[in-house]
């Protein structure tokens, strides 16, 4: 199966790293977080590790849950 090429111009990797750091600080595994936001562990890992762009809804849930600033 071919993967769809990501054509977004915004580099999401720094925000993905901030999400990972906040998740670890909160003591959540990727699986725990995935269960809370109704996404799979692999999807969470892709956001954290390769800067995969989440849906707006998931993005909002994650930055709100972990109080992550998005204006940096």
The string of pLDDT tens digits covering residues 43-63 is 999 999 999 999 999 999 999
Provide the residue ranges of all domains of the chain, joining segments of one domain with +: 13-65
pTM to 2 decimal places: 0.83
CATH of domain 13-65: 1.10.260.40
Secondary structure letter of residue 27 according to DSSP: T
Q: Of all residues in the chain, what percent carry a pLDDT higher than 70?
A: 88
CA distance 59 to 63: 6
Cα 1 from chain centroid (whole Å): 23
Q: Is the pLDDT of residue 6 over 70?
A: no
Half-sphere exposure of 26 (CA within 13 A, CB side): 17
């Amino acid at each position: 199966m071919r993967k769809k090429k990501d054509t977004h111009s915004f580099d999401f990797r720094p925000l993905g790293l901030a999400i990972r750091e906040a998740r670890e600080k909160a003591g959540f595994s990727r699986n725990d977080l995935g269960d809370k936001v109704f996404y799979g562990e692999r999807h969470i890992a892709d956001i954290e590790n390769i800067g995969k762009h989440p849906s707006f809804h998931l993005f909002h849930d994650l930055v709100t849950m972990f109080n992550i600033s998005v204006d940096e």
